[in-house]
Amino acid sequence: MGLINCCPLPTYMASIVTDLNPCPVNLGQIQKMIFWRTGNSCTVASALTSAYWTTQLALATTAKPVVSPFMVGKLSPGDPREFGGGNETLNGIPVTIGNLPSLGEFTVYQYDQDVIAKLKALQCEALDVIFINESGQFYYNDAATLGFGGFRIYNFRVSDVEGGEFTGVIKNMVKFMLVPGWSDTAELSAITAFALNLVNT
């Protein structure tokens, strides 16, 4: 997992920058997530309509997605996988052989633990995740079968409640891992007016 495969090399290096002034891409704050059983997908056009999600969230099949509570946190890339250093390798320069998994760490504040218990039940599932940012944009996998899907996550974990402080609030932590290279197929959708208002039925 996460190995860098360099052989065989292409005839020439692929062009990287082809636009002098590309539009900047800013993910912003992730505030919600949609969880799907691994392998589900739809078209981008469908995903950008509230009617599509209203229908999907009401399903009683394996294609049913579920929407998370509001949460805050971040995605952190994995460290490099390295061999050597010191006298083990020439000039003491380590050999980079790949990357470790990325980590998602988020916190859910002030939710009834009945809701958290349902979130915990997802720990038994093989899950894909779609992120929703502060602008109601989806951060999705554009390499999915139909063009809009989630990213496979592993070791999904939801903590028990933390709290009881005079100046604090109760909270639960959500953690998961994504395979190295997961963001190579990440795409940010157009802004929607409905994504942050999605709830489960």
d(CA 169, CA 172) in angstroms, rounded, equals: 10
Q: Which domain holds residue 140?
A: 30-73+101-197
Q: Tell me if residue 44 falls in helix, strand or coil.
A: helix
Structure tokens at 32: 């919600």
Buried b / exposed e along 42-78 (16+ C-beta atoms within 10 A) = bebebbbeeeebeebbeeeeeebbbbbbebebebeeb
Please report whether residue 78 resides in a domain. no
| Segments in the chain below pLDDT 70 | 1
Are 135 and 189 in contact, with CB atoms under 8 Å apart?
Answer: no
Please report whether residue 53 resides in a domain. yes
Please report whether residue 82 resides in a domain. no
Say what the pLDDT of residue 15 is.
92
Q: Tell me if residue 31 falls in helix, strand or coil.
A: strand
Say what the pLDDT of residue 2 is.
76
Please report whether residue 141 resides in a domain. yes
Q: Tell me if residue 52 falls in helix, strand or coil.
A: helix
d(CA 97, CA 81) in angstroms, rounded, equals: 6
For 2-41, how does the pLDDT look when each residue is reduced to its tens digit (9 = 90+)? 788 888 999 999 999 888 898 899 999 999 999 999 999 9
Count the neighbouring beta carbons within 10 Å of the beta carbon of residue 134: 12
Please report whether residue 6 resides in a domain. no
d(CA 86, CA 98) in angstroms, rounded, equals: 19
Q: Tell me if residue 120 falls in helix, strand or coil.
A: helix
Residue 77: asked if its preceding bond is cis (omega within 30°), the reply is no
Please report whether residue 24 resides in a domain. no
d(CA 157, CA 127) in angstroms, rounded, equals: 12
Please report whether residue 69 resides in a domain. yes
- The count of domains in the chain is 1
Say what the pLDDT of residue 6 is.
85
Q: Tell me if residue 29 falls in helix, strand or coil.
A: coil
Please report whether residue 5 resides in a domain. no
| Tokens 């963001």 belong to residue | 183
Q: What is the value of pTM for the model shown? A: 0.94
Say what the pLDDT of residue 43 is.
98
